[in-house]
Each structure stands twice: as structure tokens, then as C-alpha cells.
Amino acid sequence: MNVHFDKPVLKDIFLTVKKGEFVSIVGKSGVGKSTLLHVLAGIHKGDGSLRTPSKVGFAFQNHSLFPWMTVNENLSFGLDEYQDNEVQEWVKLLELEGKENHYPMQLSGGQQQRVALGRALATNPALLLLDEPFSSLDTHTRQRMQEWMMDFIQKIDTTTVLVTHDVEEAILLSDRVLVMKDGTLEKEFVVPFARPRNADIRYSEPFQKLKKEIFASY
């Protein structure tokens, strides 16, 4: 896969993601990570062969919720038919009980991002694309969201591709971490830690060793 604008942005991209797998893409700013997600989502086109599911969910850096809609209304947006029991299942899964009739401005940053993830998943996509969904959160909230996401992954079992600058986040959440340099996927790291994972694994020696290896490959 190659993608060109005024100059080549992605080149010689070969990427296979297995069903139910969680893959993260890390790398410096401007190397093409978000562009690759946009190609997978069908927003941008490239040269080469691309096979993606027909139903793809996308969660952005900012929550992109409709400010005039409640939590329930945002979660149900895009559904063919509103079904209250289905929406309430998502409210429970997202740990937002009691917030169903709140508007985005009444929610914390972490709650807003959970609604955004739920909205992307409510249509039951075969592939979920995450473009730095926690980057706008403060450090404490971001760590809490990472821990919540670790548990959430076990419940949804959805094929997921995450773009992030946070190597620690990538290791915590992923089955594989791919390093992108100059528009190409340069290196792959298999995350050896079994699921379910405890967030405290980030302090272990094997975790820190893998983190250093990934950073060194930038």
C-alpha cells in the first residue's frame, strides 16, 4: 500500500490484523500513523490492495460527541433503530449508569471518551480504529482510562488498531506493537504478557525492557 499527497506519505505498507487482535502503531509525529488509520477507514485512498470489513468504527483524538445530545442519544446515533435495552447495555458496559441523560459538557474527560468509544462500537463494527483517543486527557485520567480499557477489551473482543505516541499505553493494551518510521511499518514487537493483565505490570522489569526496546527502534 502506498499513499501520495504532494509527496509520498505511506510507502510499502504490509499489514495484517487477525480477528479479535489488538494492534498498536507507534512512532514520532508526522510519520503517517493517522494517515494509515484514515486509509483503513476508507477516508483516504492509496495504491495497492486493501481488504477491510464493511463496518468500521472510528474514535478520534477528541471525543466528537454531539453537544446537544445526551449520553443515550449519542450512543444510539448511527443505529438503524433505537433500542433502549441495547443502549442501556452499553451504558452499563461503559460504567456510565446515572449519566444517561447528561450532556457531554456535564461529563468528565474520561466519561466523554468512553461515550465516544461506545458510539463507535454500538453499531457492532468488525474493526475498531482508535486515533490517540486518550491524548487530550491529563496523566491521571489517562492512566485510569488505560486500566479501564484493559478490562473493556476482554469484554468486547473486537479487532482493534490503535495509534498512540504512548509506548506504555501500546504495550498495556496490545497483542502486537508496530513501529512506523518515514511512512513505513519498520518493526514489530509481540507483547508477551497474558490476558487479563494488571496495570501494575507496567512496573515490572520485562515490561520496562520491552518499552526500552520499542523506544530504541524509533
Q: What is the CATH number of the domain that holds 163?
A: 3.40.50.300
Residue 171 lies in a domain: yes
Number of domains making up the chain: 1
Q: What is the pLDDT along the chain (218 residues), one digit of tens a residue?
A: 555 444 456 888 889 999 999 999 999 998 889 999 988 888 777 676 777 777 889 988 888 899 999 999 999 987 766 677 888 889 998 999 999 999 999 999 999 999 999 998 888 889 999 999 888 888 988 998 899 999 888 888 899 999 999 999 999 999 999 999 988 999 999 999 999 999 999 999 999 999 999 999 98
Residue 73 lies in a domain: no
Q: How far apart are CA 169 and CA 150, in angstroms?
A: 10
Residue 65 lies in a domain: no
pTM of the entire predicted model: 0.88
Length in residues, the chain? 218
β-strand partners of 66: none
Query: Which helix (DSSP H) or strand (DSSP E) does residue 179 occupy?
Result: strand 176-181
Residue 12 lies in a domain: yes
Range of the domain at 195: 1-34+149-218
Residue 84 lies in a domain: no
Single-letter amino acid, residue 55: K
The cell 512512532 sits on which residue? 27
Residue 164 lies in a domain: yes
